[in-house]
Amino acid sequence: MQSEERREERQVSKRKNNSTKKSKKKEEKRLSVQKTIRYKEMGKDGICRVQGNTYSKCIRFYDINYQLAQNEDKNAIFENWCDFLNYFDSSIHFQLSFINHKSNMKEFENVIRIRPQHDEFDDVRMEYAQMLKNQLAKGNNGLVKSKYITFSIEAENIKLAKPKLERIESDILNNFKVLGVPAYPLNGVERLQIMYETFNPDASADFQFDYGSMIRTGLSTKDYVAPTSFVFKEGKTFQMGITIGAVSYLQIL
């Protein structure tokens, strides 16, 4: 009698364990928009723990006018660019990103605004300011191309990753300086803003975030940058919120 009861208890326990395992598997399969964004943490200093022991930083850089340079300058620029690329050994992974986004026309107008100085050169200033406005109006359909280099390393923890990333960051900035290219490292808020603008290209609201709000709300950084939805069906097309996109892969042989 007792052996039958024990056998029955074991069967009930086994059924419970099986149902628990199934529910856990279902929970693991259930994806959210936040889980689709594949990074773990974004620090204030711009260091991102991507996955596992992978940590990254990001630098924004600007254009250099290669086409208008003299031939000897072009050769020097090309050689320095080759040296720059050869800096990255097998321990450093890097990615160049070129992102087109809608420009803030008011912001540009503020940048190019030239105020009169009430002297004999005001006419020249006004003519130059008007020329800049005309160029802005004829611009690239209101699009601005931003350029970034993201680099990552493997480290056991953030304490070991931080000095390595800062050393690499300093070397990259020095290499850009040799090229005559303005560049600066991004902090956590700036990196999150790029994600927000990428995931929400048609959003009417500006990116609103500070690290203090995470403590007050209990939200993660992903909650601030995520779109309303992701849809991945068949082929190369996908949907983020109301935006439909496509991905193509180019292999250089």
For residue 227, pLDDT over 80 is answered with yes
Strand, coil or helix: what is 63? coil
Whole-number percent of the chain with pLDDT over 90: 43
What is the model's pLDDT at position 69? 74
Q: Are strands 54-61 and 230-232 parallel, antiparallel or unpaired?
A: unpaired
16: confidence class by pLDDT, cuts 50, 70, 90 = very low
Q: State both tokens at 64.
A: 């250099």
Q: Summarize the chain as % helix, strand, coil (round to 5).
A: 45, 20, 35
Which one-letter DSSP state was computed for residue 51?
S
> Which has more confidence, 167 or 214?
167
Amino acid at the residue 134: N
pTM of the model: 0.73
Other Cβ atoms less than 10 A from the Cβ of 35: the count is 12
Distance CA 59, CA 147 (A): 9
- Among 92, 105, 183, smallest CA distance to 144 is for 105
pLDDT confidence of residue 104: 62
| d(C-alpha 128, C-alpha 133), whole Å | 9
Provide the token pair at 233.
């069906």
Instruction: Find all residues with CB under 8 Å of 180, minimum gap 6, and list them.
Output: 64, 77
64: pLDDT strictly greater than 80: no
Give residue-wise pLDDT tens across range 127-177: 877 777 776 666 555 677 889 999 999 999 999 999 999 999 999 999 999
Please state, in angstroms and rounded to a whole number, the distance separating the CA atoms of residues 41 and 55.
10
